[in-house]
A and B are shown apart, each in its own frame.
Chain A
Amino acid sequence: MKKEMICIVCPVGCHVSIDTKTHEVQNNKCKRGERYAKKELLNPTRMLTTTVNIDSIHQRRLPVKTTDAIPKEKLFDLMDLLESVEIKIPVNLGDVILSNVFDTGVDVVATMSLKD
């Protein structure tokens, strides 16, 4: 079977296709497209940016992010995990909200400081 995808490594945006069995990549204009397609097929990862509850007077939600990309299929699981998180002020940018999520070595950290 062939899987179609758009390479996003550079602005050309080649519409590449990859064979799901042989991993042969087609229609890529350069090597980087081949690497991208294989990674997207075998181990696609994404950063997650979202928000969690906070008791600040300025805003009800605190923005957070993963410190690195996590497996794509874990995105919704991580959203579920973060739903029950309640943060108390003060919080500083970079404070760890959850550490080593799903044993990936990746933390979830605050992306804003909130003091009151």
Chain B
Amino acid sequence: MKPYDIVIIGGGAAGLAALKGAYDKSLNICLIERDKTLGGILKQCIHNGFGLHHYNEELTGPEYAERGIEEVLGLNVDIFTDTTVVDVVKENGTFELMLMNTKKGEHRIKAISTIISSGCYERTRGAIQLPGDRPAGIMPAGSAQRHLNIDGYMVGKKVFILGSGDIGLIMARRMTLEGAEVLGVAELMPHSNGLTRNIVQCLHDFDIPLYLSHTISDIKGKSVLESITISEVDENFDYIEGTEKTFEVDTLLLSVGLIPDINMFDSLKFEVSKKTGGAIVDQTYQTSVEGLFACGNALHVHDLVDFVTEESTKAGQQAKAYILNNKKRSKNTLYVTPSSNISYILPQTLDMDDDFNEVVLSLRTTTNALTGKFHVYQGETLLFSEKAKFVVPAEMEKIKIKKEHLKHSGPISILFEVVSQ
């Protein structure tokens, strides 16, 4: 069988945008999606707040997904839903993908280039080591969201939420509206990770208390969850004695972080960033394995779907260019490294032989600031500084660098200076 030019793994916001970006009449393209329908995580995010950047209007998750799906439906490409990619290897310069579905069972396809857009998964209780008993009734907030919004059942009636990220806040409101009692949200950090709008409209609107600098100190329940206890923590995140509060609940939702879902690609052995949990890529979104690209939440966790679409469209275009121009990877690599107060920068490398005028770097800080400055260096040379306002770790920042600036020696590094907090 003739190999596909490009195979895209995952049909969420990222895969759909990558498909649109990669499309060319002369190319043979295939998209594979595990679910019965396209759209990914957006289908369960029934709330508003998507698309303000990309479509200039406020959409719900399913509406955003449907637009993306409509944009690719007429294209002459193969889309296989209800099909899972179980393994990918690269042999003699060609990718071989092992697929699984109920109709054909296990089967294989080949590809010259592959795009990973398989999204992310939620951290579970094992990943954060909760104390106490291990009864049923503890689950990631996104799973509860799927059960409620798609499968149509409530996971519990008396709920507590650990973690103040947006998914947890959105679920606090959603479950309250559906008749559950949400007794509170606990956040380990002294500040919330969620948008202020969500704090106000998901918690304050329903008088749900937010316990900052608090975490779970005990869990009780033999087979099913009976109660949880929270305690205040000090600067070292140690429990402060005497601050315990106990809540009788049947459900504990965890909103404690997302991780790129790329375990099934282990055989490919591409370099992975410890910070993002996703692949290390250059500005063309190419990984350390030639012809393998990554985008969306499978590359790094995004807070805004609009940025997923923007990034993945570019990844698709780059995969197309890779095939059409028969591009080979150069050895002229420049590293991009985070310095003080920066947790990560993406892309982590720049291919300096690539034909580009400027590159947009996505980055997250480790600290909040009302006002601050980003300082961009190459080696010891300060290239430029840029002011920033209302910087929070939960929101991604973007910085543009022109290729013409990069004529010094040494890696690029960026540091963030807090001016006021």
Q: Are B152 and A65 within 8 A (Cβ)?
A: no
Partner of A49, one of B36, B37, B48, B152: B48
Q: Are B60 and A11 within 8 A (Cβ)?
A: no
A50 on interface, CB distance cutoff 8 Å = yes
Q: Are B390 and A11 within 8 A (Cβ)?
A: yes
- Interface stretch, picked from A20-28, A71-79, A98-106, is A71-79
Q: Are A63 and B205 within 8 A (Cβ)?
A: no
Q: Are B204 and A63 within 8 A (Cβ)?
A: no
Q: Give the chain A neighbours of B63 by CB distance below 8 A.
A: 93, 111-112
0/1 interface trace, chain A 47-61, chain B, CB 8 Å (1 if under):
111110100001111
Q: Give the chain B neighbours of A53 by CB distance below 8 A.
A: 152
Q: Are A51 and B47 within 8 A (Cβ)?
A: no
Partner of A63, one of B60, B200, B201, B389: B60
Q: Are A11 and B152 within 8 A (Cβ)?
A: no
A6 on interface, CB distance cutoff 8 Å = yes
B227 on interface, CB distance cutoff 8 Å = no
A85 on interface, CB distance cutoff 8 Å = no
B22 on interface, CB distance cutoff 8 Å = no
CA distance A65 to B61 in the complex (A): 11
Q: Give the chain B neighbours of A50 by CB distance below 8 A.
A: 46, 174, 177-178
Say yes or no: A75-B60 contact (C-beta < 8 A), given A51-B149, A61-B150, A61-B152. no
Partner of A59, one of B48, B151, B200: B151
Partner of A75, one of B61, B65, B177, B196: B177
Q: Are B201 and A60 within 8 A (Cβ)?
A: no
Say yes or no: A111-B62 contact (C-beta < 8 A), given A59-B151, A60-B152, A63-B46. yes
A42 on interface, CB distance cutoff 8 Å = no
* Interfacial residues of chain B within 44-61, with CB under 8 A of chain A in the complex: 46-48, 60-61
Q: Give the chain A neighbours of B199 by CB distance below 8 A.
A: 6
0/1 interface trace, chain B 176-196, chain A, CB 8 Å (1 if under):
011000000000000000001
Say yes or no: A13-B196 contact (C-beta < 8 A), given A53-B152, A63-B60. yes
* Interfacial residues of chain B within 375-416, with CB under 8 A of chain A in the complex: 389-390
A113 on interface, CB distance cutoff 8 Å = yes
Say yes or no: A59-B60 contact (C-beta < 8 A), given A49-B47, A75-B177, A79-B178. no
Q: Give the chain A neighbours of B25 by CB distance below 8 A.
A: none
Q: Give the chain A neighbours of B197 by CB distance below 8 A.
A: 8
Q: Can you list 26 pairs linking A and B with CB atoms under 8 Å apart? A: A5-B200, A6-B199, A6-B204, A11-B196, A46-B205, A49-B60, A50-B177, A53-B152, A58-B37, A59-B151, A60-B150, A60-B152, A61-B150, A61-B151, A63-B61, A63-B62, A65-B48, A65-B60, A72-B205, A79-B177, A79-B178, A93-B62, A93-B66, A112-B43, A112-B62, A112-B63
The residues of B with any CB-CB pair to A shorter than 8 Å are: 36-37, 43, 46-48, 60-63, 65-66, 148-152, 174, 177-178, 196-197, 199-201, 204-205, 389-390
Additional pairs, 8, CB under 8 Å, beyond known A11-B390, A13-B196, A46-B201: A6-B196, A51-B148, A61-B148, A65-B48, A76-B177, A79-B178, A93-B63, A112-B63
Leading 10 A-B pairs by shortest Cβ distance: A60-B152, A63-B46, A112-B62, A11-B390, A61-B152, A13-B196, A111-B60, A59-B150, A8-B197, A111-B62
